[in-house]
């Protein structure tokens, strides 16, 4: 049985809510509160331990890729959907039939040079990258390996992807 090929992702977060520095501080974190079905389906069906993540800061100045993380463990039912005190509580979710998915992530590095969106948009090697598309609000996006590597280079990352 061949090992599953590692996949690459871009995950958006508003740094005022949860930033790469928060993840750096804790070392590991839970990517929860995703309440979009497309994003949910991607997390549930396609994410797996070992996948690499571009940590993207949105709704800030400037928006852009701020760091690198890794998915650890398998996707699981997002606990916040059961938590009545949480802003992400969903009364339609049950333990038997959870509606929303979370993943655990671990910190890899903060980019020496954040790669702002306008740089992502200008770089010809990143043609076709999802986050560049106008009106793309999806907070969980697949990233092609060549694009992932290019962003690492633009950010002077220590992380190497073979």
Partner DNA sequence: GCCAACGTTGGC
59 scored as a contact of DNA (CB under 7 A): yes
For position 153 contacting DNA by CB under 7 A, the verdict is no
- Establish if 2 lies at the interface with DNA (CB under 7 A): no
Shortest reach from residue 92's CB to DNA, in Å: 8
Q: Per CB under 7 A, does 41 bind DNA?
A: no
Which is nearer to DNA, 134 or 162 (by Cβ)?
134
Phi then psi dihedrals of residue 111, to 5 deg? -65, 135
Using CB under 7 A, pick the residue from 28, 41, 94, 136 that binds DNA.
Answer: 136
Measured from the CB atom, is 6 or 35 closer to DNA? 35
* 89 is a contact residue toward DNA (CB under 7 A): no
């Amino acid at each position: 049985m061949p090992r599953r090929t590692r996949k690459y992702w871009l995950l958006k977060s508003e740094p005022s809510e949860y930033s790469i520095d928060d993840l750096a501080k804790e070392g590991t974190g839970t990517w929860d509160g995703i309440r979009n079905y497309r994003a949910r389906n991607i997390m549930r069906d396609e994410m797996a331990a070992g996948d690499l993540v571009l940590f993207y800061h949105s709704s800030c100045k400037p928006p852009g890729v701020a760091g690198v993380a890794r998915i650890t463990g398998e996707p699981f039912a997002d606990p916040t959907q059961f938590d009545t005190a949480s802003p992400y509580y969903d009364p339609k979710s049950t333990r038997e039939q959870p509606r929303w998915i979370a993943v655990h992530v671990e910190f890899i590095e903060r980019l020496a040079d954040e790669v702002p969106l306008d740089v992502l948009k200008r770089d010809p090697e990143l043609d076709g990258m999802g986050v560049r598309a106008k009106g793309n609000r999806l907070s969980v996006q697949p990233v092609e390996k060549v694009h992932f590597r290019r962003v690492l280079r633009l950010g002077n990352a220590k992380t190497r992807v073979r």
